Structure 1
Amino acid sequence: MTSFDELERQRLEKIERARAHGVDPYPVTFDRTATARELHDRFDGVEPDTNTGARAAVAGRLMLKRGHGKLAFGVLRDGTADIQLMLQVDVLGEEGMSAFADLDLGDWIGAEGEITKTKRGELSVRASSLTLLAKDIRPLPEKWHGLKDVELRFRQRYLDLLMNEDARRVAVLRSRAVQAIREFMIARGFLEVETPMLQVQPGGALAKPFVTHMHALDLDLYLRIAPELYLKRLIVGGLEKVFEINRNFRNEGLSPKYNPEFTMLEAYEAYGDYFTMMDLLESLISAAAREVLGTTDHTYQGRAMPLGGPFRRARLIDLASEAIGETLDLDMAADKARAIAEAHDVPTDAAWGTGK
């Protein structure tokens, strides 16, 4: 098996050969006329073994290649979908077929040609020209096993996005969810604001902050752990309904389920109470689900999780009582509350009162 370093060396040699023949392996632009998804939306209904007469220029990363001689195929992936490339010597020419054979998986390419559907029903671009857009030096992860190492996926997100379709789907859905939340809040009269991320005194939550130093004032500052206090000052100043989709930083650990840098939504409304916010949140969740997923019927990790509401409303202390099978009360003695907590392996502090 060829080593990783040897594959890199071979690809670097291809770059030098291309330059020696006057070919720029990293051109700046390419005139793409359609995405893969646009072609599928327009032509998937075409019968097999059909030449549409329509032409398009597509661009993306080469993910698969097969065949040799007078006929070859490739799979090109752009940011929307995959599309097959059909390469025939009588259309592309001997030089073009040789150029395709010299490509490596992972190379960025552009292809222009007629839109056709093969006898097997695969929508394809019958390429009449190929353009190398960016030579990939590092080989892609092995196709059939994909990228399974969790730590590698989190450290090299670009590889995760490249090799795992579900990772790309989640990235798109997350962006659409943030957009849906923003539009929902604005439609209900909330003003989107930005509050300081560097703070003299971190507040609004109980968390260990990240510390930095401002040289101009010789002053230690903290990355915010929550935007709460500054948002409330805006309410005091007369902005009656405000929200912020904000980045927060908490220096308290790292795992696949916990990131020290994260995004949250925080909103405040004058003249309302926590029932007002319950109503707002319930409407927000269902509206965002319909906008992003097209439905409020949702399953998470095999468990039905309907997002349409209405949702159960309960006090935290009542939920805790249900969980341990014993009634908790804020008026009970602190010693009794502490004993119950310790019986269920919940850490306590001697200075804490019953509520804590």
Structure 2
Amino acid sequence: MLRFHRGWGRFRTPEGGEVWSLTTNERFGVNGDPRLVQQIFEMLDRGDAAGPDVEPPGSASLIEGLRRIGAVIDDNDQRPGVADPDGRYVHQSEFFSLWETPELSGGAIQDALRGSTVLIVGVGAFGTWIALNCARIGIGTIILVDPDTVEATNLPRQVLYRTADVGRPKVEVAAEMLAVSDPSVKVVTHDRLIREVADLADLAARADLVFNSFGYRVANIRDIIAETCVRTGTPSLLSGGSTLGPLCVPGRTACYQCMVDGDGALAGTIDKAVANRWLPPRSPFAPLIAAMSSLAVWEATRFLTGCSAPLTENAVWSVDLFKYEMTRITGDRRPSCAVCGTGNDR
């Protein structure tokens, strides 16, 4: 049966009506007899519009126009969700319905998360918030890597740890806490120090996405993660500090080094930091870390489910959380890039 797309709003106007997309804000006027428009809107709200033969007369062409712009779909062909036996994610599936298609329901989009595997390298400030969000939204498998133990100084900003956990392995505690969020999420832990690509390659190869949460600070581990993902062909999302992106799909989109090489101001700042052995101050403040980590997981959700096009492919977002301003820096994949260039493709 035909019904309104769940990602579209509608209301009556003196000219007939208006519909608009809640995700793109596209708006369209629906001209005609206001009473007829209202009657059709009510039928589509109920989901009992049958198509071209629907009554009253004159409604078929109006409904077909709504269908052409995507405001109306036939849910007979939709694949429902199947991976939520206890109804835990019913409201989240409703959220994903904003991006439903004639083939996929919001529940089916939720299933895509359940079928995904992510790798989180480092279960510290950003890593714990990312891991918690990944478990809360129902990502099926979460791989955690960290060789450290919990310290008292971690507690103000690393959300998975408690006072009683001081001295315990971070990955062990994190796995216990994530199981509380959703026991059906599979958490795989590795108490492993990453010194080179070989230490990480086997894990990256199993993931659909790797979270590289070391940002644009001068960090050897960030480079190891990036190189590993290029070699294994695994997409990775760079975040950390006040930056988000790029989302690097090896062989297709720019990596962080492409972005640095393509932006003189960014490259100059990093070069000076290296020359002076100076690192930007960290932001060990839980609310800001939580905000940036949540953006990273939302961007990962876009990529893993395909519900909405990622906004960090060939782009970096710089987020000023003091002024609430965001700046988007775009770039292109560079064939000569030392990290992801043609000579490094595997």
Q: Same fold (TM over 0.5)?
A: no
TM bin, normalised by shorter chain, reads: under 0.3
More helix by share: 2
TM-score normalized by the length of structure 1: 0.26
Higher relative contact order (CA 8 A, sep 6+): 2
TM-score normalized by the length of structure 2: 0.27
More strand by share: 1
